Amino acid sequence: MRSPRRCSRNGCPRQAVATLTYVYNESTAVVGPLAAFAEPHTYDLCEPHARSLTAPRGWDVVRHEGEFEPPPPTTDDLVALAEAVREAARPAPPRPPADDQDPPPGAPHTGRRGHLRVIPPNH
């Protein structure tokens, strides 16, 4: 399953709930709800970092005034979870017999070492 997006601030392990975008031609930093997709030149922030963000001198900050909430799971998340559950429920494939077991009577003896197989010459 895909892990939730994390805060872009160095060392912050929290889940992102907001997206920061800089509008350079207007000298504005915009902090809004978490964008549906991570985009280049935007930054995902946790709630404490989204609330405490300051902009350089001469810049304005436009901040979402409502609550920042984690996004609900997407259908991609649900499909990934269903696939993981199906994979875990599959029976394990049968294991080949161990090489150190005696071969059945009448069967030629072959040795195996890693990916190589030693086949005895025909008598």
Output the tens digit of pLDDT for each of the chain's 123 residues. Answer: 445 789 999 999 999 999 999 999 999 999 999 988 888 889 999 999 999 999 989 999 999 887 877 766 666 666 666 666 667 666 766 766 655 556 566 665 555 555 566 666 775
Check: CB of residue 90 under 8 Å from CB of residue 58: no
Selection from 23, 22, 12, 95 nearest residue 47 by Cα: 12
- What does pTM read for this prediction? 0.55
Separation between Cα atoms, residue 2 and residue 67, nearest integer Å: 24
Separation between Cα atoms, residue 76 and residue 3, nearest integer Å: 11
DSSP class of 20:
E
Separation between Cα atoms, residue 33 and residue 65, nearest integer Å: 10
In terms of Cβ atoms closer than 10 Å to its own Cβ (0-12, 13-18, 19+), residue 4 is: middle
With a CB cutoff of 8 Å and minimum separation 6, the contacts of 20 are: 8, 29, 30, 31, 42, 43, 44, 45, 50, 53
Structure confidence at residue 115 (pLDDT): 59
